């Protein structure tokens, strides 16, 4: 017998079942993708103060999160994290990067870093515009902080 319910506050475990189900179904369809997690973490003492993560799959780096602790923002740290992820993805054989944001300010940053806008959805969530960018990795070189 099926039990239906609308849940206002689903538990983390309930949401994880749905997320895992969608992910596993997608993996069945995406044969040959060989998805691998990737992250770049910046620590001060033992505290993570910046970082980025995502996955590499189908010769592409998919950036899920890029974050810098508030008091360290606007100092180039996020750009450095992104460059490190790009270099690591290139070493894995990735040809390009896909990244999204709901921040117009961050969208401008991605443009300055060589990313090309491939989609823009005004009013995606409330007054926020969703920006989708791609960047070719081509030849990667240079040292961190250079």
Which fold is adopted by the domain 37-136? Aminopeptidase (3.40.630)
Task: Please write down the HEC assignment for all residues of the chain.
Answer: CCCCCCCCCCCHHHHHHHHHHHHHHHHHHCCCCCCEEEEEEEEECCEEEEEEEEEEECCEEEEEEEEECHHHCCCCHHHHHHHHHHHHHHHCCCCEEEEEECCHHHHHHHHHCCCEEEEEEEEEECCEEEEEEEEECCCCCCCCCC
Domain ranges of the chain: 37-136
The mean of the pLDDT values for the chain is 93
Under the banding of pLDDT at 50, 70 and 90, the label for residue 140 is: low
pTM reported for the whole predicted model:
0.84
- Whether the predicted pLDDT of 141 surpasses 90: no
Residue 146 vs residue 20, higher pLDDT: 20
Structure tokens at 113: 């870093």
Q: How far apart are CA 114 and CA 64, in angstroms?
A: 18
Instruction: Give the CA dihedral 79, 83, 88, 93, nearest 10 degrees.
Output: 130
Do residues 125 and 103 make contact, with C-beta atoms less than 8 angstroms apart? no
Residue 25 scores a pLDDT above 60: yes
Per-residue confidence (pLDDT) for residue 139, from 0 to 100? 67
Res. 39 pLDDT band, cuts 50 70 90: very high
Region 43-47 average pLDDT: 96
* Residue 125 confidence (pLDDT): 95
Is 60 exceeded by the pLDDT of residue 144? no
Region 80-99: mean pLDDT is 98
- The DSSP bridge partners found for residue 9 are none
What's the confidence (pLDDT) of residue 145?
42
pLDDT category at 146 given cuts 50, 70, 90 is very low
């Amino acid at each position: 017998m099926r039990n239906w319910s609308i849940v206002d506050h689903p538990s983390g475990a309930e949401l994880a079942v749905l997320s895992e189900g969608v992910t596993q179904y997608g993996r069945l369809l995406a044969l040959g993708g060989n998805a691998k997690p990737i992250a770049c973490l910046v620590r001060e003492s033992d505290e993570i103060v910046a970082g980025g993560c995502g996955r590499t799959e189908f010769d592409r780096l998919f950036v899920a999160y890029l974050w810098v602790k508030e008091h360290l923002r606007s100092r180039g740290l996020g750009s450095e994290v992104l460059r490190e992820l790009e270099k690591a993805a290139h070493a894995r054989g990735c040809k390009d990067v896909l990244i999204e944001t709901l921040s117009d300010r961050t969208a401008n940053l991605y443009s300055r870093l060589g990313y090309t806008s491939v989609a823009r959805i005004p009013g995606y969530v409330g007054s926020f515009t969703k920006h989708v960018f791609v960047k070719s990795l081509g030849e990667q070189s240079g040292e961190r902080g250079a």
